[in-house]
Structure 1
Amino acid sequence: MPTGLSLHVGLNTVDPARYEGWDGQLQACENDARDMAALARARGFSDTVVLTADGTVENVTAELRRAAGRLGDGDILLFTYSGHGGQLPDTAGPDRERDRKDETLVLFDRQFLDDELHREFQRFQNGVRILVLLDCCHSGTGIESLANLLTPDALRAQFGTPDPGGVEAASRLMPVLQQDRVFARDRAFYEELRREVREDGAGPGPGAVLIGACQDNQLASDGDVNGLFTARVLDVWGGGAFEGDLRGFHRAVQKRMPAIQSPSFHTTGAPSPDFLGQRPFTV
């Protein structure tokens, strides 16, 4: 019998001392983590929930490594994250990131690079299935460019306001000004971290499937109870009524989302046809 472990991270705030005075206040991220943990538990996963102040790089990394030590061929990891998303300039050159930026999870004490997450997944045995759901922004264009690309009516329909400042408050975007300040302060640290992570190796690792709340240049909506993406995930799942595979699940969620927040589907490490053909959340 395969083993299923799940890790659910939800941050309603971050440490303002680490983010130049910004606390990143959100409403629904802890709820997202708890609700996804309940879904996972009902499907036979052993779940771990990490909330806000416990959502540090050290704690999240430790939980991922603990799971890597327990799971073997045929087992599955479910990892969900709800919180702010950010981007940092990638100074390693255009061959590293097509948009010259690293997407990040904005954890309580610092931003967690996509390269770091990939490195942690590489610690898992090749036969482990990894399913990832990220409910956060990965907005490479920043709010000013997005506001220029979208009509006020489109912004008002999703975020309740056409004003960029208001959109920032209603979305899970780390404000661009804050991203710039933090990167300027910590640039040497992140450049050294990138070198360290990439020197650890670039193997494909186990098969992983990511369903993200939006594209890299889009924003993800927060909410009163759940984030918009997580709410649609729970709606489509319907307490287990959904019978399709992972791609079908992504398409069903996508159909329920507004045009300016289009969920992504991304794979790494060549997940097997059997994995891709399974119902979501299958141990």
Structure 2
Amino acid sequence: MVHQAAARAKKRPQAHSLHIGINVVSAGHYAGWTGPLAACEFDAHDMAAVARAQGMKGSLLLTRKATRSAVLGGIRKSARALADGDLFFLSFSGHGGQVPDVSGEEVDKLDETWCLFDGQLIDDELYFELSRFKTGVRILVLSDSCHSGTVVRAGRPPPGTPEQRARIMPPAVGMRVYGEHKAFYDQLQHEVAKAAGGKVSDPDTALAQVAVSERLTGIVKNFHPSLILISGCQDNQFSMDGNHNGAFTEQLLKVWNHGGYRGSYASFHARIRAGLPPTQSPNLFTLGPVAAFLKQAPFSI
């Protein structure tokens, strides 16, 4: 019995990864808009390669396969399988969008979304799904999209080459999409809020202010895993597409240097940020007990 207990104690942690890359979305769900991008599938392949090299058990969802059901199913599968000390690595590359918030305290607030192929994944949903991981699970999320926690945005860059293309669904398109699918998105937000036991704050706001906001601390008090989220830009900026990688992913891979990087998550974020222009400054958010997690080497199991 003693030997069995020791063996369990020394068991190597498991690591799952899920990588999403979406170059176009379904016109049928996005009011005729397909939002073509060039590098998102490349980003997903490259993040999957990093995970594979580190010994993670990974899944890849590209464009048409990156549906709401597939993404939620992948997250939930890992939430069921992983336990204390395990790692879940989630990466997203694609457009960010917004829908009106119907479950929060401010009627004019917008919820951030990831634009999946056949519909948007609201940040309330993502936050709730991640909160269902067990105590002690480490979660790393890398989001190469326009994804903020406020409605303040800079003016949209002009269209042109892939380097000038922002990874954001145009607000006018977003409102058309919401208008055509209002019942679905409103009901979705109400269901998530009900499942979470009340009103749900968008994750970026919660992550950014949890240390100083009593209201948000109350909302996230039952978040048991440890979460590190590195997103591609600040609230009022845009994550830019590229020919082979998005600007954020390209710089991340350069710093990672095929595993040659030596340092912590905190310094990893700082190095990535230092290599990008002032117009795109990646954000670092944390949630849960992350002090030890932040000191670990990136992607380490």
- Compute the TM-score of the two structures, normalised by the length of structure 1: 0.88
In the alignment, what sits opposite 2:202?
A: none
Residue 271 in structure 1 maps to residue 271 in structure 2: no
How do 1:85-124 residues align onto structure 2 when only pairs under 5 Å count? 85-94=96-105, 100-124=109-133
For residue 189 of structure 1, report the CA deviation from its aligned partner. Answer: 1.9
Q: 1:74 to 1:95 in 2, by over 3 A?
A: farther
Tell whether the 8 Å contact from 2:102 to 2:190 is kept in structure 1 after alignment.
no
In the alignment, what sits opposite 1:247?
A: 266
For residue 95 of structure 1, report the CA deviation from its aligned partner. Answer: 6.4
2:63 to 52, 69, 72: 52
Q: Distance in 2 between matches of 1:166 and 1:193?
A: 35
Q: Deviations over 1:152-208 (max 9, x none)?
A: xxx6xxxxxxx3x44997111111110010112222221211111011125324111
For residue 244 of structure 1, report the CA deviation from its aligned partner. Answer: 1.3
- Compute the TM-score of the two structures, normalised by the length of structure 2: 0.83
For residue 237 of structure 1, report the CA deviation from its aligned partner. Answer: 0.5
Residue 37 in structure 1 maps to residue 37 in structure 2: no
In the alignment, what sits opposite 1:134?
A: 143
Q: Distance in 1 between matches of 2:272 and 2:99?
A: 28
1:237 to 233, 238, 256: 256
Q: Distance in 2 between matches of 1:117 and 1:204?
A: 13
Tell whether the 8 Å contact from 2:231 to 2:282 is kept in structure 1 after alignment.
yes
In the alignment, what sits opposite 1:74?
A: 85
Residue type at the aligned position of 1:55 = A
Residue 204 in structure 1 maps to residue 199 in structure 2: no
Tell whether the 8 Å contact from 1:86 to 1:179 is kept in structure 2 after alignment.
yes
Aligned residues: 263
For residue 93 of structure 1, report the CA deviation from its aligned partner. Answer: 4.1
Tell whether the 8 Å contact from 2:136 to 2:224 is kept in structure 1 after alignment.
no
In the alignment, what sits opposite 1:159?
A: none
Q: Distance in 1 between matches of 2:104 and 2:88?
A: 32
Alignment root-mean-square deviation, CA: 1.9
Tell whether the 8 Å contact from 1:56 to 1:108 is kept in structure 2 after alignment.
yes
Residue 194 in structure 1 maps to residue 212 in structure 2: no
Tell whether the 8 Å contact from 1:138 to 1:217 is kept in structure 2 after alignment.
no
Structure 1 gap segments, 5+ residues each: 148-154, 156-162
2:281 to 262, 269, 281: 262
For residue 44 of structure 1, report the CA deviation from its aligned partner. Answer: 1.3
